[in-house]
Chains A and B, each alone.
Chain A
Amino acid sequence: MSTVVHLEGVSKSYRMYNRPLDRLQEALSFGRIKRGRDFWALKDISLELEPGTTLGVMGRNGAGKSTLLQVISGVLQPTSGTVETVGQVVLLQIGAGVNPDFTGRENVMLNGLMLGIPRDKLLDRFAEIEAFADIGEFMDQPVKTYSSGMRARLGFAVAVNVEPDILIVDETLSVGDAIFKAMGIQKMLELRDRGTTILFVSHGTGMIKNLCNQAMLLHRGEMLYHGGTAETLDRYQALLSSTEAQRSGRPVDTGYEIEAQDDELDGPIFKENPELEERVPGLRHGTGEARIMSVEILDENERSVRMVDSLSSVTARVHLQYAEDVKKSHVEITLRNKAGLDVFSASTNAENVSLDGMRKGERAIVDFNFEAWLQPGQYSVTTAVSSPKTKNLYLDWVDVAAVFKIERAKGQPAIPGLVRLPTRATVHGPGGVHRDG
């Protein structure tokens, strides 16, 4: 079957300048002065789509999704590579082509004409568009009085009634309510069955699951994956967790090497988190005789995660390195909830283990394994190393060394208080049972 969208080695770069003057200097020197840097929004993307394909485009903010769609639609020109499309392309972005001062009716006409629909066809279709937009008497009011959802409906109603060969939807549905989303998906499915190729950006994984038969994952301008929707969604989730964990201070490999995490390893490997090294005083202090290099959260399968189920077994793993010889030292972690309340604390001292006779340069890994009988929510881990010798002084103390989330697992009861403590409930019958009335 022939392809309707054909991209080959498409890259898009933007030239960035620190000051407007730099841009001018570079332009006037005809290439002799270089003042800008290139920012690659898209790197070497190749893609072929057949008619009737629905492709979900996923990726974090700034991954290049919108740029890709704009390049495919022809609004932006690729820096290198070729883009070929067959047939009429309609690009739908939030707020594009809607003039706030004009009524819905006028905007429908204007928008339709801009999309290239002949005027008579537009007049014929008007009732249908109006019905789909379903904004009632607001049709004759200026669009500035509309809610953002109503604006999106209007634009969407026009675009889908054009019956384009290629429909490119950039997050437009996300501002609509559930009914509109369902209608939008229904309409797009109809278009797909008629052979329209649909490219669809959404952060709602559910919508992509419902609509798309293919998906691609973009990360920093590169196509990490292109294939089935389910596989892509999995990779997207993994990418999200690894990148978020990275930001919160845990050393996880970058998004596209996520498979590495699943590798079987003998014993824990030592990890360093450069972010902790850059901590300013206030978030970190201590004598420096020992350094906390990294703190990570592991789930029941010993995988580094940022999210654990409540009531499951969790391990906080602390990676230490000693800068001096330390005879005796203790490690301590404190879990703090979103409100800043210390919820739970554990230490090697309390568990009757200790790190004895550590030499300069020696490394150690300490695991704290506990049951997460805690209220679901965001938690931070404050970690400290202390020595009995220097009573009031920590060897190292790092606030928010790691962040993780506890989620209520499916089928588990809610935890209404801060913690659930081991409890025994006893009913003393029959006198202990009260009946009303």
Chain B
Amino acid sequence: MSASASKAKQGSFGGVSNALSTIYGRRWLIGYFVQRELSKSYRGSFLGFAWAFLGPLVMISLYTLVFSKIVGLRFREFEGNPQLNYGLYIYCGATPFAAFSESLTRSTNTIRRNATLVQKMIFPTEILPLTTAFTAMADKLFGLGVLTVVLGFLAYVLRWDGYALHWTLVLLPVLVVLQLIFITGLSYIFSVIGAYLPDVKETLRSFVRAMFFLTPIIWPISRVEGTKFEWVVAYNPMAYVVEAYRDLIINGKVPDLTDTVWFALLSVVLLVLGFMLFHRVKKQFADLI
């Protein structure tokens, strides 16, 4: 590490680029942090990391059993694929949404949660929201991976009608990166707000719960298209995300390009704003908590 003078005033731009190089310099630390967060919930259990895969498998089976077999829900609107399992459909939408909601609610107390790091150590706090977002996304990737394997199993081993693995899966990493940018930006913003106002966590929890129902997760997007409720999905970035995942994984379609560009723009703007905001106030954190 080179000699650096920490002065009270520092150029804003120089500061930001410094912070960015810190993040690059500490990439191993971020890796350890994500690993630490991911493995935290599995520590001490006998099956250990296998739960990262077993958990989603249990959920997929439950969704399928309850919604398709017990409730027997089918959507007529579900184009050309009446056999498609409703449980898988929900799971495919709920998983990326969970990455969003988890990073959002966890980021509000990410500074408080790591109080010892913020107050007692010389520590680059920039990496905390980043870790929160990465962890939430990585955790859900296991779920999506399991979903893909289940789909492949149904299509090629059990040879069920209407199931296939589409070439569009190749595009999945692009979408994951876009969503990661989106939730990282939000994490920066909400970790700042949460550090100032601890109450925001509960507020946000309710908001996220409302978002779950206002996003086409348990209902198909076609239900609101052309109705007076269309704005619910038109101005909801998560509606785009959920639909895009389903297009890539289940429908084998490429998501709408204009929507994708808009979402990408929104994500980048959020990230830049969030990072700048965070950088501006991070020195106050030790006093706030």
Chain A residues near B (Cβ < 8 Å): 14, 70, 73-78, 82-91, 93, 95-97, 99, 101-102, 106, 109-110, 113-116, 118-119, 165
- Smallest Cβ distance from A376 to chain B, in angstroms? 40
Tell me which of B32, B116, B122, B284 contacts A95 (CB under 8 A).
B116
Q: Which of B6, B32, B121, B283 has the most CB of A within 10 A?
A: B121
Q: Can you list 11 residue pairs at the A/B interface with Cβ under 8 Å?
A: A70-B286, A74-B6, A76-B287, A77-B284, A82-B8, A85-B6, A97-B123, A102-B36, A110-B36, A115-B122, A116-B25
> Are A93 and B120 in contact (CB-based, < 8 A)?
yes
> Are A91 and B287 in contact (CB-based, < 8 A)?
no
Chain A residues closer than 8 Å to B43, beta-carbon distance: 101
> Are B117 and A97 in contact (CB-based, < 8 A)?
yes
> Are A75 and B8 in contact (CB-based, < 8 A)?
no
A74 vs B5: C-alpha distance when bound (angstroms): 11
A113 vs B7: C-alpha distance when bound (angstroms): 24
> Are A83 and B36 in contact (CB-based, < 8 A)?
no
A84 vs B29: C-alpha distance when bound (angstroms): 26
> Are B1 and A88 in contact (CB-based, < 8 A)?
yes
Chain B residues near A (Cβ < 8 Å): 1, 3-8, 25-26, 28-29, 32, 36, 40, 43, 116-123, 283-284, 286-287
> Are B3 and A97 in contact (CB-based, < 8 A)?
no
> Are A113 and B26 in contact (CB-based, < 8 A)?
yes
> Are A96 and B5 in contact (CB-based, < 8 A)?
no
- Give 14 A-B pairs besides A90-B122, A99-B36 with Cβ atoms closer than 8 angstroms: A70-B119, A74-B122, A76-B287, A77-B287, A83-B6, A87-B4, A89-B122, A93-B120, A95-B120, A97-B123, A101-B40, A116-B26, A118-B28, A119-B28
> Are A76 and B123 in contact (CB-based, < 8 A)?
no
> Are B32 and A113 in contact (CB-based, < 8 A)?
yes
> Are B283 and A77 in contact (CB-based, < 8 A)?
yes
> Are B120 and A75 in contact (CB-based, < 8 A)?
yes
> Are A114 and B6 in contact (CB-based, < 8 A)?
no
Tell me which of A82, A106, A114, A119 contacts B123 (CB under 8 A).
A114
Q: Do A91 and B32 form a contact, CB below 8 Å, given A83-B8, A86-B3, A97-B116?
A: no
A89 vs B123: C-alpha distance when bound (angstroms): 11
> Are B116 and A96 in contact (CB-based, < 8 A)?
yes
Chain A residues closer than 8 Å to B283, beta-carbon distance: 77
Chain B residues closer than 8 Å to A119, beta-carbon distance: 28
Which residue on B lies nearest to A97, using beta carbons? Answer: B121
- Smallest Cβ distance from A418 to chain B, in angstroms? 48
A110 vs B118: C-alpha distance when bound (angstroms): 15
- Smallest Cβ distance from B118 to chain A, in angstroms? 8
> Are A84 and B7 in contact (CB-based, < 8 A)?
yes
Chain B residues closer than 8 Å to A113, beta-carbon distance: 26, 28-29, 32
A230 vs B118: C-alpha distance when bound (angstroms): 35
- Smallest Cβ distance from B35 to chain A, in angstroms? 9
Which residue on A lies nearest to B287, using beta carbons? Answer: A76
Q: Do A82 and B32 form a contact, CB below 8 Å, given A96-B116, A115-B122?
A: no
A75 vs B5: C-alpha distance when bound (angstroms): 14
> Are B122 and A96 in contact (CB-based, < 8 A)?
no
> Are A96 and B120 in contact (CB-based, < 8 A)?
yes
Chain B residues closer than 8 Å to A87, beta-carbon distance: 3-4
A85 vs B4: C-alpha distance when bound (angstroms): 8
> Are B122 and A73 in contact (CB-based, < 8 A)?
yes
Tell me which of A75, A77, A109 contacts B119 (CB under 8 A).
A75
Q: Which of B4, B28, B119, B284 has the most CB of A within 10 A?
A: B28
A85 vs B36: C-alpha distance when bound (angstroms): 32
> Are B8 and A91 in contact (CB-based, < 8 A)?
no
> Are B121 and A114 in contact (CB-based, < 8 A)?
yes
A83 vs B40: C-alpha distance when bound (angstroms): 38
A7 vs B66: C-alpha distance when bound (angstroms): 67
A85 vs B119: C-alpha distance when bound (angstroms): 18
Which residue on B lies nearest to A99, using beta carbons? Answer: B36
A101 vs B29: C-alpha distance when bound (angstroms): 17
Q: Do A91 and B28 form a contact, CB below 8 Å, given A83-B6, A84-B6?
A: no
Chain A residues closer than 8 Å to B117, beta-carbon distance: 96-97, 114
- Smallest Cβ distance from B251 to chain A, in angstroms? 42
Which residue on B lies nearest to A82, using beta carbons? Answer: B8
A106 vs B36: C-alpha distance when bound (angstroms): 10
> Are B287 and A14 in contact (CB-based, < 8 A)?
yes
Which residue on A lies nearest to B7, using beta carbons? Answer: A84
> Are B29 and A97 in contact (CB-based, < 8 A)?
no
A93 vs B116: C-alpha distance when bound (angstroms): 10
Tell me which of A14, A77, A91, A165 contacts B121 (CB under 8 A).
A91
Chain B residues closer than 8 Å to A102, beta-carbon distance: 36
Q: Do A97 and B26 form a contact, CB below 8 Å, given A83-B8, A85-B6, A86-B5?
A: no
A110 vs B117: C-alpha distance when bound (angstroms): 12
- Smallest Cβ distance from A216 to chain B, in angstroms? 21
Which residue on B lies nearest to A96, using beta carbons? Answer: B120
A97 vs B286: C-alpha distance when bound (angstroms): 15
A102 vs B8: C-alpha distance when bound (angstroms): 36
Chain A residues closer than 8 Å to B25, beta-carbon distance: 116
